[in-house]
Chain A
Amino acid sequence: MVEEQVEMLLNGDFAVAWAWKHVEPDVVAAFPITPQTLIVEKFAEFVANGEVRTQFINVESEHSAISAMVGAAAAGARTATATAANGLQLMHEILYIVSSMRLPVMMAVANRAVSGPINIHCDHTDAMGQRDAGWIMLFTEDAQEAYDTTIQAFKISENPDVLLPTMVCLDGFLVSHTAMNLKVFGNPKIVKDFVGEVRPVARIKLMGEEVELSLNPRNKIPLTFGPFCYYDYYFEFKRQQIEAMKAVPEIVERVNKEYYELSGRLYGNGRLVPWNVDDADIVAVVMGSAAGTLRWVARKYRERGTKIGILKVRMFRPFPWEEVQKLLENKEVVAVFDRAQDAGAMVGPLSLEVLSALYYSKNRPKNTVTYIFGLGGRDLTPELAEKTFEELIRIKEGKEKPFIKKYIGVRE
């Protein structure tokens, strides 16, 4: 049954703050960085007005924000933080520790280009620098999806079969500061019931005792978190982490579906959101707010009978490579739109994933190209999108040679 919801005018940052308000994490620790600031400012208001019982720690750096998350989550608390760009890079070291300790931390990332030169606007390079840190990574397209995905992230991460942290990405300014009419649950209890009133802390068997997987001093056997591991055990730890990651795709799908039943909003299968991909000759693969732009332009082509489809990748980690492979089988042209730096690499990080998947496909697309776009907040305008679509059509028709990658919207 779809629950009652109220319409609000919120930008993406406020949407995350409202999701936090409805989930009411036990501990939030954060350090301000544009374009994430509105999340923590709004949430600080909720704390100051007693609308949530969260312990809000105004830390002195992002490094300490994520470090406090480790302590709090290991203590059994439900935890959330938010950052962007350089702040996320400062956290880098600890991100690996969070995932290796199997701590279900929720983190919103208002994607921003990384220094230097310093810039405050959107690209995905900040998140892409963390793609091997063992986090679940979900990319959202607009403020509504940011609200919905933030709520879902707690439920995904805290699932006992997962126990991995989740990063929810929203494009800096394009989503974080762009207001839209969106729906939030009228009754926060709906959200609380969905994620659970308190975090379900996993219990494990240890030396014949059942103990809580936390720093709980009441455990019959007190636990040691973060021990020193030599070559005799380290590899097994990492192997188990990979195994946990395998459980994620199905749980993301299930949570997405359960959430749909409450909200009426569905994001594909939770992992991928295809738009007219099945019958398309040309498919653009993209993440974040640019998916909306590409869909809007592609619609006009569809009206004229040109079969363009848009494949939005919502879950970047774990990367749903088998599904991508399947969806892109036998296409005439696949174009990956990559909003991240690729210096020294063959193509951008999203494209590397797609190309790797396609390499093992028995029915590879005839042409695959990459566009690097939008670095440092450079707009992907509908006109620019149209230009690329024209190029892709010419490639499909054999009028133009395919290429490996191109940079679009930049002065060469």
Chain B
Amino acid sequence: MAEVTQLIHEYLRHDKKFPHVLCPGCGHGILLGSLIRSVHALGIPKDDVALVAGIGCSGRVAVYVDFNTVHAVHGRALTVATGIKMAKPDMHVIVVQGDGDALSIGGNHFIHAARRNIGLTVLVLNNFIYGMTGGQCSSATPLGCWSTTTPYGQMEKSFDFVEMTRAAGANFVSRGTVFHVKTLDKLVRQALVHPGFSLVEVLTPCHTQFGRKNKFKSPVDMYQWLKKAAMPLEAYEKLDPDKRAGRIPIGVFVDNHEPALETRYAAMRAKLAKG
């Protein structure tokens, strides 16, 4: 296994301060490792990757890695990425957003990017909370969970990212967790080569802001929970609906091959150029 960490170190910006700012046990680092391994496995040169990140803990991911990176405005990472992809359709444009960034503040951008089916790879790091700003509830905080702004428990239902992206018309929709790293690697690799809008929702624990308020004694407890709760989609579908409560299906939910926006755009340009 020797090559794993060494490979990651080759892709890091060592002039930045290390260790990174993320809390002990935060899953964002695991996702970053997974992304680096996937890009390397596909043989994509560093210069052909544009990594756009939003604001929040997930935004720090882009700081540490040696791709072309943009740290965009809160919730607007997808708009910046859309511009890059339309201008440079051959580039692999990856967007890293948190749950608050992608679906609370940038919700509309997210829906429309999925509707347009533009060829972006979107990694939504869902930690169920606004981590960096102090643990306020986000649109992904599950019903009944505690946060700084819901001291008696969340009363609102949470967003189902997968169902929403499917409904918006994306080409590739999947969900993984940072505990199931090998599955996550596979999903990220698939998302990177898939044409059109590709979403990987990555469940990642935030012990500092979410776990401590929700009866998880340590970061390890949160990983134990992910290990127990997550199950392959195929097994989940066979499960008795009464037993599905508390279980999280992971895997590929949508796998369409409709032409992406940049392909349609290129075809339109070619048609108009002929006159």
Q: Are A and B subunits of one complex?
A: no
